[in-house]
Every structure is written in structure tokens, then in C-alpha cells.
């Protein structure tokens, strides 16, 4: 894990603690305004009106404002993480295709598909590693596993994993055993990285939704 990951995780922790400590507003009015001392106006539908007691406004305002700021922060962290995943080449355009298939009727589609991949890829990589540790290595079998892994990773947009699989198969075609062998550790590492980043992404999604926010859409 790098510094950025750690910072992201810390942000998530801070954010979730703040959300837990925030008091739920007792009544929800669709037109209530929240004005703080710095004249920042926050309203759920952009309408300004006045409440009787300034004090109760401030208290409610601070609570709601804090909550809104937490959601904003979570959303920013989410967007930053997602952008970095594309920029670093961990995800490719296919992942965006998956996101576009997700809608209010299928809210968990990306999560379901990626979870299937975690299972599938995890199993395949374990098979690869154990097969490589055999006395007599069955390279044809290993190539078949890598073929499957390449297909799955391509299907969900896990670009780096797909790329290592492709490199492996090129070595296999040239009967370059050492080349094949050298791909296994990177493959495992890429999978571990992919899994932890996507899990962080999904955790952020859950927290954003729990805090009443919406998941930011990426623009390409």
C-alpha cells in the first residue's frame, strides 16, 4: 500500500466516525434553510427562509452542514480514487462500460460482477501458484488457467491483470519457461492491489449512500 492509499483509508475512517457522531435531525423539512455565521447558505432545494430562533438554526445548520461536507469529502475521495485507478492503468474503458450498465434497477451490478471476479481470479491464481510448485509442471494446464484469467480480467476492465496475462501467454507461445515463471508473482501482486483498491472504492460508495449522497459519475 502506498501513501495515497493510507491517506484515503484514513479519510474514510475519519469520515465514517464523523457520520456516526452526527445527530440525526428530528424533523425533515423540504424547505428548511441552514445558515451559518459565515453566511454560507445550504438548502436542500435552494430556497431561503427564516426560522424563529437563531440558536436552533445554528445548531441544526452545523449538524446538517457537517453532514453535507462529509458527503462532499467522501465523494471527492471517491472521484480521486477512481480517477487514479484509470490514470495508473489499473482500470480501463471496460470498467466504465460496466458502470453504464448499472442503474436504479440494477444498483449492485458492478459490485456483483467485481465480486465474481475476486472469487474467480483468486481461485485461478491459487491454482497457478500451486501448479508451478509441482515437481512436474503442467504448462498446458497453466496456460489454460491464464487464458481464463485473461478473459475474466478483460471482461471487467482489470487492465494490468489482463496485460500480465497477455505477457505470460506470449512467453508461453515462445516456450520461454522462465518468462512464464516471472509473470506469476506480478500477476499475484496486481491482483492483490486490484482487490484492495476496488474494495476501498466500494466501501466509499457504501458510505456515500449511507450519508445520503449520490455516487459521482466519471466523465470521459
Partner 1 sequence: MTVETQPQFHVLAVDDSVLDRKLIERLLKTSSYQVTTVDSGTKALEFLGIQDENSENAASVSPHHQEVEVNLIITDYCMPGITGYDLLKKVKESSSLRDIPVVIMSSENIPSRISRCMEEGADEFFLKPVQLSDVSRLKPHILKKSVKCQDENQNQNKSVTTISSPTNNVSGNKRKATDDGICSERIRTRYSAGPVTIV
The residue ranges that bind partner 1 (CB under 8 A) are: 92-94, 97-98, 100-101, 106, 109, 112-113, 116-117, 120, 123, 140-141, 143-145, 147-148, 150-152, 154-157, 159, 166, 169-170, 173
Q: How far is the CB of 142 from partner 1 (least distance, A)?
A: 10
Identify which of residues 65 and 147 has a Cβ nearer to partner 1 in the complex: 147
Identify which of residues 156 and 215 has a Cβ nearer to partner 1 in the complex: 156
Q: 9: Cβ–Cβ under 8 A, 6 or more apart, which residues?
A: 200
Note whether 168 and 182 are within 8 A (CB). Answer: no
Q: How far is the CB of 172 from partner 1 (least distance, A)?
A: 9
Residue position matching grid coordinates 455565521: 37
Q: How far is the CB of 190 from partner 1 (least distance, A)?
A: 17
DSSP state of 46: S
CA distance 34 to 23: 15
Note whether 79 and 163 are within 8 A (CB). Answer: no
Tell me how many degrees the CA angle 119-85-161 measures, rounded to the nearest 5: 45
Q: How far is the CB of 155 from partner 1 (least distance, A)?
A: 5
Bridge partner list, 158? 91
Identify which of residues 23 and 138 has a Cβ nearer to partner 1 in the complex: 138
Identify which of residues 70 and 159 has a Cβ nearer to partner 1 in the complex: 159
Amino acid at each position: 500500500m502506498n501513501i495515497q492509499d493510507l491517506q484515503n483509508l484514513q479519510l474514510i475512517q475519519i469520515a465514517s466516525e464523523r457520520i456516526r457522531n452526527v445527530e440525526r435531525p428530528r424533523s425533515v423539512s423540504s424547505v428548511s434553510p441552514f445558515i451559518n455565521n459565515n453566511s454560507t447558505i445550504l438548502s436542500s432545494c435552494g430556497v431561503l427562509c427564516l426560522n424563529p430562533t437563531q440558536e436552533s438554526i445554528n445548531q441544526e445548520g452545523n449538524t446538517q452542514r457537517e453532514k453535507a461536507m462529509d458527503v462532499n469529502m467522501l465523494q471527492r475521495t471517491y472521484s480521486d480514487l477512481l480517477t487514479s485507478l484509470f490514470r495508473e492503468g489499473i482500470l480501463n474503458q471496460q470498467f466504465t462500460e460496466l458502470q453504464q450498465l448499472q442503474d436504479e434497477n440494477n444498483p449492485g451490478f458492478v459490485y456483483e460482477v467485481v465480486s465474481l471476479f475476486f472469487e474467480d481470479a483468486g481461485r485461478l491464481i491459487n491454482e497457478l501458484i500451486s501448479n508451478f510448485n509441482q515437481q512436474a509442471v503442467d504448462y498446458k494446464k497453466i496456460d489454460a488457467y491464464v487464458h481464463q484469467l485473461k478473459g475474466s480480467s478483460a471482461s471487467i476492465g482489470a487492465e494490468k491483470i489482463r496485460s500480465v496475462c497477455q505477457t505470460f501467454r506470449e512467453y508461453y507461445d515462445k516456450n520461454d519457461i522462465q518468462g512464464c515463471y516471472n509473470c506469476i508473482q506480478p500477476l499475484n501482486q496486481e491482483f492483490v492491489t486490484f482487490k484492495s483498491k476496488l474494495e476501498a472504492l466500494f466501501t466509499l460508495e457504501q458510505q456515500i449512500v449511507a450519508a445520503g449522497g449520490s455516487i459521482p459519475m466519471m466523465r470521459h
